[in-house]
Amino acid sequence: MTDHDSHQFDSTTLREYDIRGIVGETLGEADARAIGRGFATLLTRAGGKRVAVGYDGRTSSPVLEAALIEGLTVSGCDVVRIGMGPTPMLYYAEASAEDVDGGIQITGSHNPANYNGFKMVFQGRPFFGDDIQEIGRLAAGGDWTTGSGTTQSREVLDEYVERIAEGLDGIDTARLSGLRVGWDNGNGAAGPALEKLAAKLPGEHHLLYTEVDGNFPNHHPDPTVEANLEDLRQLVADKGLDFGIAFDGDGDRIGAIDGEGRVIWGDQLLMIYARDLLVRIPNATIIADVKASRALFDTVAELGGKPVMWKTGHSLIKSKMKETGSPLAGEMSGHVFFADTYYGYDDALYAGVRLMAASARLGKSVTQLRGEMPAMVNTPELRFQVDESRKFAAIDEVKARLANSTDDVDGTDGVRVTGKDGWWLLRASNTQDVLVARAESDSEEGLARLVAKIDEQLQLSGLERGPQAGH
């Protein structure tokens, strides 16, 4: 039996929403080839044939792309190479082309430079959870189809940028031409797309770090960490811009700050998008994850929408959108999904354009929209390490203890408990050996009481919230 007849993945790489690892340690060319073989096997068995492949700006991406394509073609799939670009460009290539049945983006997302990985879409739906485990099972047994697929290259960048710019269709250009926006690409894969987009958009645009550099020399490309928004904040202040937009490394998550330098977190962005959308689509279902502010769910309800709280994870949210026909969804982590006049996937460039659109249509500046939001006091996401074998069990213990609580206990994803002081959340991460906690109140005293409740539950399960709690 040759080494190509089966393959074992490192136990840490096949994750809930994607495949990810440290290049040269837990992830390499043999893994990429086996992923290609497994994906092609599943796709051809489901009647599909052609796969779009893209990659991000990491130094390891081209080598992994070559191995992935070899695996796909040797198992009978035809490959359409779209080259380097943001993950949403790969999603676009898959969603917009009649002849494409699946897509794989090679990306380490916002992980450190030595990581890389794969995000996948299968016949128009997210490919995650058991799908990913199935790739591992097929590899272990060498249960792969064989064939000889073809490879072609396809230019989609210009078409993709053109499609994003359509987010401003039908809006009075006079309202848009006065907008002044800052954009921080953080040396991520969206750089060339952002440069082309900014040249097309009305208004004045100032760009930072559009050069793609997998070593991320300026700051780490994760816009949910406030320190990474400092350069953008400075740009907005120096030039007196209306607002600023930042991307993560592969362009599917957005961060934003208003004209006063205040961060607009994921749930607050969703409040702005909801306000704009519900004018045009009354009663729409709008989905957010369990970490989102109560203010968001309340605002959606007040505006006549149907708020739905759902599990954290971009694949899970996308699946729930399809099931409910929701035109808009989002997560605290900056994934925002538009399905009203777009394809329902997370695209930070498109989300940036839609922030311009919302401001223009609502006739208010982004700073004004941010300023009108109810003032809530909340913790950042608190994370603490828990043994993998304990993390889900601990949540079950908390649920059991709260069975007779007078507070409202929601078990959608972990436990989210709402009482007179506000709410607190404790959930197990699907991607790491950590428990995640968050709390929100309308006063500092209320928040302290909620955090004490989290600590109490941890102690009762023999766990401590360590000093390293933070992002």
Q: Which helix (H) or strand (E) holds 50?
A: strand 50-55
CA–CA dist 360, 173 (Å, integer)? 9
Contact between 336 and 274 (Cβ < 8 Å): no
Please name the residues in contact with 268: beta carbons below 8 A apart, sequence gap of 6 or more: 293, 296, 370, 373
254: nearest Cα among 227, 223, 209, 232: 223
CA–CA dist 433, 315 (Å, integer)? 19
CB atoms within 10 A of CB 390: 16
pTM of the model: 0.94
220: nearest Cα among 114, 120, 118: 114
> In sequence order, what are the beta bridge partners of 182?
206, 244
449: nearest Cα among 409, 408, 417, 401: 417
**pLDDT average per 10 residues of sequence, the chain (471 residues):** 75 90 97 98 97 96 98 98 98 96 94 93 94 97 96 98 97 94 97 98 98 94 95 98 97 97 97 98 98 96 98 92 97 96 97 98 98 93 88 95 94 96 94 91 97 95 66 40
Judged by DSSP in three states, 233 sits in helix
- Structure tokens belonging to residue 262: 């205040």
Q: What are the pLDDT digits (tens) for 9-66? A: 999 999 888 899 999 999 999 999 999 999 999 999 999 999 999 999 999 999 999 9
- Structure tokens belonging to residue 245: 């937009």
Q: What are the pLDDT digits (tens) for 439-449? A: 999 999 999 99
- Domains of the chain are 19-155 (3.40.120.10), 160-371 (3.40.120.10), 377-460 (3.30.310.50)
Cα atoms in the 13 Å half-sphere on the side-chain side of 103: 29
Tell me what pLDDT residue 16 has: 85
CA–CA dist 81, 75 (Å, integer)? 17
Judged by DSSP in three states, 2 sits in coil
Judged by DSSP in three states, 357 sits in helix
CA–CA dist 242, 365 (Å, integer)? 7
376: nearest Cα among 451, 443, 330: 443
The residue behind tokens 């050069």 is 211
Judged by DSSP in three states, 92 sits in helix
Catalytic residue among 60, 61, 75, 109: 109
Q: Could you please report the per-residue DSSP string of 204-225?
A: EEEEE--S--TT-SSS-S-TTS
- For residue 112, give the amino acid letter: P
Q: What are the pLDDT digits (tens) for 272-296? A: 999 999 999 999 999 999 999 999 9
Active site residue 109: yes
**Hey, what's the torsion of the CAs at 187, 193, 198, 202, to 10 degrees?**
-150
209: nearest Cα among 174, 239, 248, 165: 248
Tell me what pLDDT residue 465 has: 67
User: Which class for 4: exposed (0-12), middle (13-18), buried (19 or more C-beta within 10 A)?
Assistant: middle
